[in-house]
Amino acid sequence: MKPLPFEKVTIVMGSRSDWSTMSNATRPLEELGISFATAVVSAHRTPQRLVDFASRAHESGTRVIIAGAGGSAHLPGMIAAISPLPVIAVPIESRFMTGMDSLLSIVQMPRGVAVATQAVGVSGAYNAGLMAAQMLSLCDDELQQRLIAWRERQTEQVPITVE
């Protein structure tokens, strides 16, 4: 079996079909020059892979985990229950309740198992990448300066007038 990848930010999802959403988490990371890895880790179909990943990520160079999950959405919470690292959750849009089932499942974490939950879908994935960058910038002055410049560019792109 191929070994799991690890980087400063590791993005995991329960299924390859989640990549169309989770790929958006990579955009701010790429723009800010932050290394990341991606992997499919299913809470239900690959439980041992989940345990191996979550228990080793902090020893393998990962500093923040972004976990996307749909439906019953156990992946972020299970990782947070095992790993000491911060976990940012992205509820994936589903066929049944357009992602509300995922969102409600993720945000109901019990006391003592923290998960930072983003919006459902593409915006949530993008913001998860941005949140990971903000977390990493707390201990990286160069990254913090890149993040400040990134925000200034974002602000400059908003027009002052409507024509």
Residue set of the binding site: 15, 18, 45
Phi, psi at residue 9, to the nearest 5°? Answer: -115, 125
Phi, psi at residue 25, to the nearest 5°? Answer: -70, -25
Binding residues for substrate: 15, 18, 45
Surface-to-core class of residue 77, CB atoms within 10 Å of its CB (0-12 exposed, 13-18 middle, 19+ buried): buried
Distance of alpha carbon 158 from alpha carbon 68, whole angstroms: 29
Distance of alpha carbon 21 from alpha carbon 156, whole angstroms: 27
Distance of alpha carbon 146 from alpha carbon 137, whole angstroms: 9
